Structure 1
């Protein structure tokens, strides 16, 4: 059996969580524990990362930011189960923006491993961006690999928001909406 199954608690070593402020501290190599991740493990990881989260009406975990929401989802059956981190970016684009968006997204997807980002056009013609990374977890995965991948995916989702604004020349627009006139940074 695996050291972590369902309701059991596995302590996540805080030193294994990469530092968002810079380069992660080097860790000595080790095979680590094999786990079958579940929502409780992700909640524990989000708490250790000091990220707020909610559970939506479908039972998925979501971490909300001002301009996007990141969901942590488990899909599939037993040995084929997939863990997906999917980010929904809130900034609306018009259908006319789609060619420029595709050009920028092609550049991002060519240069980076994750998240892979694509467009979604709503019935009203509004275009939104969605980023996604996935991991097959059904037969178990190394705890350190799961933690470092999940943290890296969250970090990359945050970085993508900054990158796309810069790539589309919208960073000044974002700064003006962030300025609420209270003089705080």
Structure 2
């Protein structure tokens, strides 16, 4: 995935005299991000998205999906951007998954990746970003952060494909469309259960 932050139009109204370039009327002070602002930003990034049954914004890709979850109240409010990678592994694969996660977490800033094991023994990877909103955050900082986090979620997926030699498997498998966003949200591929069970952001 390639997303250029400079290519994303500024939010808000515009002002300017006729015949002169218009300047975006961005917020002068801190803002309090919410799901609507996230959806506007995803629209400007031309990314498909929907809202799941819990009210969280969801952006799906072929092999992973990114959730934007707002939790907490007032100065303790936190935005968690959580990525669920849909490729399924077995418990026998867990040692190499943990080794790969350690390698990634040691060498990169985000996402921080951990494993989630379902009741049926299926193991999947989850990536996390956390932003404490407190009394508000800078508009430009929020936009740049979300763009960087979305890009990084895709970069980890590509890194894992190279790390485990999955590219050939993808080429040989029947092509699968990303599908309708709402349908992806309902299907979940095990991710919804992990999301509901991992609100504290810890691994398993």
Give 1:29-44 correspondences, 5 Å limit: 33-44=29-40
Query: Which of 64, 70, 75 is residue 74 of structure 1 equivalent to?
Result: 70
Query: Which of 6, 14, 21 is residue 15 of structure 1 equivalent to?
Result: 6
1:61 Cα offset (Å): 0.3
Coordinate RMSD, CA, aligned: 1.9
Report the TM-score, using the length of structure 1 for normalisation.
Answer: 0.79
Query: Which of 51, 58, 62 is residue 58 of structure 2 equivalent to?
Result: 62
1:154 maps to 2:145: no
C-alpha distance in 2, partners of 1:115/1:159?
A: 10
2:118 match:
122
C-alpha distance in 1, partners of 2:168/2:29?
A: 46
SS of 1:63's equivalent? strand
Greater displacement, 169-178 / 99-108: 169-178
C-alpha distance in 1, partners of 2:46/2:64?
A: 17
C-alpha distance in 2, partners of 1:124/1:69?
A: 21
1:173 maps to 2:173: no
Gaps of 5+ in 2: 10-26, 177-204
More helix by share: 2
SS of 1:175's equivalent? helix
Give the number of equivalent residue pairs: 155
1:84 Cα offset (Å): 1.0
1:147 Cα offset (Å): 0.5
C-alpha distance in 2, partners of 1:97/1:52?
A: 32
2:202 match:
none
Query: Which of 132, 137, 140 is residue 141 of structure 1 equivalent to?
Result: 137
Runs of 4+ residues over 6 Å off in structure 1? none
1:16 Cα offset (Å): 6.8
1:61-89 deviation per Cα after TM superposition (whole angstroms, max 9, x unaligned)? 00011111100110111111001110101
C-alpha distance in 1, partners of 2:135/2:101?
A: 32
CA contact (8 A) 1:45 1:147 kept: yes
C-alpha distance in 2, partners of 1:67/1:34?
A: 35
C-alpha distance in 1, partners of 2:100/2:152?
A: 16
2:21 match:
none
SS of 1:45's equivalent? helix
